[in-house]
Amino acid sequence: MIAFVRHGQTELNRDGRLQGRIDVPLSAHGEEQARALGRAFASEPVARVISSPLLRARATAEAIAAAHGCAAEIDERLIELDYGAWDGIALADVPAGDWAAWRADPTFAPPGGERLTDVTARVASFCSDVLADELVVAVSHVSPIKAAVCVALRVDERVTWQMQLGVAAISRVGRRPDGAPYLVSFNETATITPQ
């Protein structure tokens, strides 16, 4: 099983801005969320912790890995969607026509950015390589985790616009006996209580 974890809060996502590949650290609240995730996974049989290379994901992964005495591995396939010229802007500032095109067409890419179909392809590759009977925690970002859900459900990327995934939330993808992925849970937040 893969437990996909969205990293903790940052100042940019708190303010409703697209982060993409901007490499920002966790906010103070995000650091608390990371520690809470470490506690939440402490009693689970975690075999590996794998992270996006971005700082906010790595810090979250390290808090989970520390509870198991292991190091977080890095996998580039877990990196956030590249928003290109939209990195750092508020969602409200995305031009209305572009916003509509993006929602309607998974092959649309922000200027200089990445298509949702590209994210799905790399996340599908990750799932194919990593999904096993053991529990693997994969710390990533909103778009790759939604892509993993699409892979598990075998649905089009446009479904991602119908999902709300919170920061520090857990979504689990399991493996059937024939190796096919399936969705176990989405947007778990009940056990993530900062102290």
Active site residues: 7, 80
The answer to whether 30 and 8 have CB atoms below 8 angstroms apart is yes
Tokens standing for residue 139: 């710390």
Question: CB under 8 Å to 121, separation ≥6 — which residues?
Answer: none
Tokens standing for residue 142: 């909103």
Residue 170 bridge partners (DSSP): 5, 188
Helices (H), 4-158: 11-14, 28-41, 55-66, 96-104, 116-130, 142-153
Find, among 188, 160, 161, 156, the residue nearest to 172 by Cα: 188
